[in-house]
Amino acid sequence: MSGRKRTLEAISFEFVMTVIAIIALIIIIAPSLVVLIVSFTSGFSLRFPPPGYSLRWYAELWDAWQLHFAAKNSLIVALWATGLSVVLGVAAALAISRSRTLSARLLDSLFMSPLVLPALAFGLAALMLFSLVGLPVSPLTLVIGHTVVCVPYVIRNTVAALAQLEPTLLESSAVLGASRLYTFRRIVLPLIRPGIIAGAFIAFMSSFDNVPVSLFLRDAATDMLPIRMWQDLEGKLDVTIAALSSVLIIATVVLVAVMERVTGLSRRLTN
């Protein structure tokens, strides 16, 4: 009797946990699927399910030059911010990763702090500083601001990759007479490259998607894609945005799949 009771109890536990987990996974994935379906509507509204299916909103998107312009700006800023983040971030990661000194730990906290501080407050602060020193907002100020909020991702992933590195490898290389630079180029860099790429990828995505910093640091001529989309959505619910959203979702899925192959992204983010 007691054995049976325990089994029922175990089943009730597994049932509840599994059901909640499945509901949660559906809640996570459903919104993206809904957008994909709605983007093929033949109607004028975001009604679900759509009254019919067509590619008209994709044709509309093809001609939406304002969105193209904003996408191009976002892409350029994201590429520059990622490049700068990788150069500055990898160098900093090399310096702080194996050091146990107080200054290394303080620098680590400083470099990570943009992750928790409200980005909007930082955007406002940066705008005020730039206007104080007389530097007008421009794509340059955008790149600077984005680099501050994106560099933590590069550092975190590079430090994690360096921590996996076997110190004996570097010692053997040195014993065999290789210079530090040669060892770095031929041994360290190839081994930490996937970590750097993973960090650069996350930095790029977060720059491309950034609103709070861009909101303050862009000039009137530099329209950024997420801000353009946000303002379009505030005004009217345009189905063109659904088509654009679908394109972005598909692009993200493809990039994540590539990154999973190249860097084992999912393992990196759970270890």
Partner 1 sequence: MGAAPASRDVTSYGMGLAAPLALFFLVFFVAPLLQLLWLSLHNDTAALHWGLGQYLHFLTDPFSLSVLGSTLLLGAEVTAVCLVLGFPIAWLYQRVGPRLQTIIILIVLLPLLTSVVVRTFAWIVILGRQGIINATLQSLGIIDTPLKLLYTQFGVVIALAQVQMPLMTLPLITALGRIDPNLDDASCSLGAGSWRSFFKITLPLSLPGVIAGCTLTYAAAITAFITQSLIGGGQMLFMPMYLYQQASTLQNWPFASAISIIFLLAVLAVVSVFTTLGRMSRGYGGA
DSSP label of 53: B
The answer to whether the beta carbons of residues 46 and 242 sit under 8 Å apart is: yes
**Burial per residue of 251-265, b for 16 or more beta-carbon CB atoms within 10 angstroms, e otherwise:** eeeeeeeebeeebeb
Residue 195, both tokens = 């970590």
252 touches partner 1 (CB under 8 A):
yes
Least distance to partner 1, CB of residue 173, Å: 8
- Residue of the chain from 89, 200, 218, 223 that contacts partner 1 (CB under 8 A): 89
3-state secondary structure of 39: coil
222 touches partner 1 (CB under 8 A):
no
Least distance to partner 1, CB of residue 37, Å: 9
- Residue of the chain from 1, 102, 116, 220 that contacts partner 1 (CB under 8 A): 116
CA distance 56 to 32: 20
Least distance to partner 1, CB of residue 48, Å: 5
Rg (CA), the chain: 24
Report whether the peptide linkage leading into residue 50 is cis, meaning its omega lies within 30 degrees of zero. no
The residues pairing with 53 across neighbouring beta strands, listed in sequence order, are 41
- The 134-173 site mask, x for binding partner 1 (CB under 8 A), equals ----------xx-xx--x-------------x-x--xx-x
Binders of partner 1 among residues 16 to 35 (CB under 8 A) are 17-18, 20-25, 27-32, 34-35
Least distance to partner 1, CB of residue 234, Å: 7
**110: Cα within 13 Å, side-chain hemisphere:** 10
Least distance to partner 1, CB of residue 229, Å: 5
254 touches partner 1 (CB under 8 A):
no
80 touches partner 1 (CB under 8 A):
no
- Residue of the chain from 253, 254, 258, 262 that contacts partner 1 (CB under 8 A): 253
Q: Cα dist. 175→57, 168, 171, 178, 192 in Å?
A: 64, 10, 6, 7, 21
CA-based nearest residue to 64, from 72, 75, 52, 76: 72
262 touches partner 1 (CB under 8 A):
no
216 touches partner 1 (CB under 8 A):
yes
- Residue of the chain from 159, 200, 203, 205 that contacts partner 1 (CB under 8 A): 205
CA-based nearest residue to 63, from 249, 251, 244: 244
Stretch that binds partner 1, among 57-65, 75-83, 191-199, 255-263 (CB under 8 A): 255-263
Least distance to partner 1, CB of residue 174, Å: 4
The answer to whether the beta carbons of residues 268 and 198 sit under 8 Å apart is: yes
Binders of partner 1 among residues 38 to 77 (CB under 8 A) are 38, 45-49
Least distance to partner 1, CB of residue 230, Å: 5
1 touches partner 1 (CB under 8 A):
no
